[in-house]
Amino acid sequence: MKLLFSVLLFLLSFQNFASTITVCKECKVSTIKEAIEQAIDGDTILIKKGIYKEHGTTIIDKSITIIGEGNPVIDGEMKGTIFSIQATNFSIEGLHIINVGKSYLEEFAAILIVNSKDFQIKNNLLEHVYYGVLIEKSSNGIISNNTISSNAKEEAHSGNGVHLWHSENMTVSNNHITKMRDGVYFEFVNNSTVSKNTCKNNLRYGLHFMFSNDDAYLDNIFESNGAGVAVMFSKRIKMYRNLFKKNWGAASYGLLLKEINDAELKNNIFEDNTIGIHADGTNRILFTENDFLNNGYAIKVLGACYNNTFSKNNFLSNSFDLAYSGNINENVFDQNYWSSYTGYDLDKNGIGDVPYRPVKLFSYLVNKTPEAIILLRSLFIDIIDFSEKVSPIFTPADLVDSNPQMKKILW
């Protein structure tokens, strides 16, 4: 029995015996390609500091670990994809990948992963890339602590930072993505988490998200992106503690929600956006304990939005708290704090005695005739807004917050 056990242990250890292949300019193995060819399952490839001008490296069905020591530079010389991977159980760490070429026909990426499982891409620095990490039909991957940047100038000539397509159980966390087309792109990606990422100065969206269900976005920062964050055609999304900031521009918004059902937005901050949330065809969404600060429009609701609840949010110094078109459709505004609320609280229960009407007459007018926006902040508008507040005629009578809070909600 004991013998059998030791034989088994021996076999196992043999099986697991992992060799390390070191790559450096002076080493026996001087290119990464060579190292990968030699490697077998379980091997580690250690790339020493240096500059490696390589592209088109493929890893097929090899469970290997690639580790960069001292951030070795892998220069693609603008010629195409650097790593193409189709494997399970592998990882890439600590590389500095630069100069992925641009192409209008192929989607060149720093790291391309197809039909893979159980992998980790972490602590890499990707610069001047077309796509950063491009993942298709894969699962159980972790993309974390990467810094991805490029200098995207036109949408048509640029790629996304982390691009996922038809994947599940992915984690994208702690990445810093700047100056790409979209920071993080999800299409048909389910049961995944995007957390603690910073997406800044991207040409189009900080996060672009379509046909992906049961995902969570937590603690991300989306700042100064061309058009903000777009979340479309998805179900059961959780968005907690994100910061949407400075998405200023003529066609920009903090968060675009289009055809979203059963989502929950909690503890997010929308600050300095042209439009905080642009909701279009969203149903059964709970917006609670969010801050809307200094936005052009805090919330703009378009089209058929049913059964949404806006409660316990703080609306602070927005030009318009709410723009609304169409019917109320059982959307509820309750217990929010509105900084432009001028009512009183005689019974001192912390709830204003007069209901608050979040839609000003001017925002109603602008909705009907967008050009009227040119009268923004004029005395006449102040006057009609005031008179509408005193005796509402035009704005929907049942669109009220019956329990406006007297104090800012702390969460």
We find the least distance from the C-beta atom of residue 362 to another protein, in angstroms, to be 9
Residues 271-330 that bind another protein (CB under 8 A): 272, 274-275, 296-297, 319
Residue 250 binds to another protein (criterion: CB under 8 A): yes
Residues 6+ apart with CB under 8 A from 34: 23
C-alpha to C-alpha distance for 66 and 141, rounded to whole angstroms: 15
Residues 96-125 that bind another protein (CB under 8 A): none
Q: Among residues 12, 51, 60, 376, which is the contact residue for another protein, using CB under 8 A?
A: 376
Q: Among residues 65, 224, 252, 336, which is the contact residue for another protein, using CB under 8 A?
A: 252
Residue 393 binds to another protein (criterion: CB under 8 A): no
Here the tokens at position 363 are 């925002």
Give CA 40 to chain center in angstroms: 36
Residue 367 binds to another protein (criterion: CB under 8 A): no
Interface region with another protein, contact rule CB under 8 A, candidates 101-109, 342-350, 362-370, 399-407: 362-370
CB 58 within 8 A of CB 37: no
Burial, 332: exposed, middle or buried (Cβ in 10 Å; 0-12, 13-18, 19+)? middle
C-alpha to C-alpha distance for 344 and 333, rounded to whole angstroms: 19
Here the tokens at position 123 are 């602590």
The candidate with the shortest Cα–Cα distance to 215, out of 165, 170, 278, is 170
Helix (H) or strand (E) run with residue 167 in it: strand 162-168
- Tell me whether strands 193-195 and 255-261 are parallel, antiparallel or unpaired: unpaired
Q: Among residues 142, 381, 406, 409, which is the contact residue for another protein, using CB under 8 A?
A: 381
Here the tokens at position 47 are 């790339």
Which residue, 176 or 246, is less far from another protein as judged by CB? 246
We find the least distance from the C-beta atom of residue 228 to another protein, in angstroms, to be 12
Residues 321-360 that bind another protein (CB under 8 A): none
C-alpha to C-alpha distance for 263 and 340, rounded to whole angstroms: 28
Which residue, 181 or 278, is less far from another protein as judged by CB? 278
Residue 259 binds to another protein (criterion: CB under 8 A): no
Interface region with another protein, contact rule CB under 8 A, candidates 139-147, 164-172, 283-291, 374-382: 374-382
Interface region with another protein, contact rule CB under 8 A, candidates 3-11, 143-151, 330-338, 381-389: 381-389
Which residue, 342 or 402, is less far from another protein as judged by CB? 342
We find the least distance from the C-beta atom of residue 372 to another protein, in angstroms, to be 5
Q: Among residues 3, 156, 251, 390, which is the contact residue for another protein, using CB under 8 A?
A: 251
DSSP letter string over 102-115?
P-SSS--EEEEEES
CA–CA distance from 176 to each of 70, 121, 267, 302 (Å)?
Answer: 19, 13, 22, 32
We find the least distance from the C-beta atom of residue 377 to another protein, in angstroms, to be 6
Give me the residues that bind another protein (CB under 8 A), please.
248-252, 272, 274-275, 296-297, 319, 365, 368-383
